[in-house]
Amino acid sequence: MATSQVETVTGGADKAKLFAAVVVVVAAVAGFYALSKHGPLVQWGALLLGLVLAVALVLVSEYGRQFIGFSRDASREVKKVVWPTRKESLQMTGYVFAFVVLMALFLWFTDKTLEWVLYDLILGWKK
């Protein structure tokens, strides 16, 4: 079932929510440093409370609703993926390693052949 994508024009309220979220994050960080005399528990509590409030503000905006919809669609698609078995994964990994070794040997052989042709035969520079 395909979902239709509807583009919506975000209003001033959504932009205000996003701006408020940024202000809350800045205030939370400032509060973290300003509350240093009250101990780490108060500092981290203020920071985490501010970040949770900022995330809540973003999620109630249109951008947040779009993100939640995207996340649901993405998780639905991931559930449709047929993951390889352990045996298939090990076989494919083995093929990749074998190809890398063969390619390394081929490039080494090509390099040594070109070195021999250029330096020994053409230029006459014996080692």
Regarding whether 68 and 110 lie in a shared domain, the answer is no
For the chain, which ranges sit under pLDDT 70? 1-10, 126-127
Count structural domains, the chain.
Answer: 2
Q: What local confidence, expressed as pLDDT, does residue 120 receive?
A: 87
28 in Cβ contact with 47 (< 8 Å) = yes
In a domain, 4, yes or no: no
Q: Is pTM beyond 0.75 here?
A: no
In a domain, 66, yes or no: yes
Regarding whether 91 and 74 lie in a shared domain, the answer is no
Q: Which domain holds residue 35?
A: 12-80
8 in Cβ contact with 62 (< 8 Å) = yes
Regarding whether 126 and 69 lie in a shared domain, the answer is no
pLDDT digits (tens, 9 = 90+) for 88-113: 999 999 999 999 999 999 999 999 99
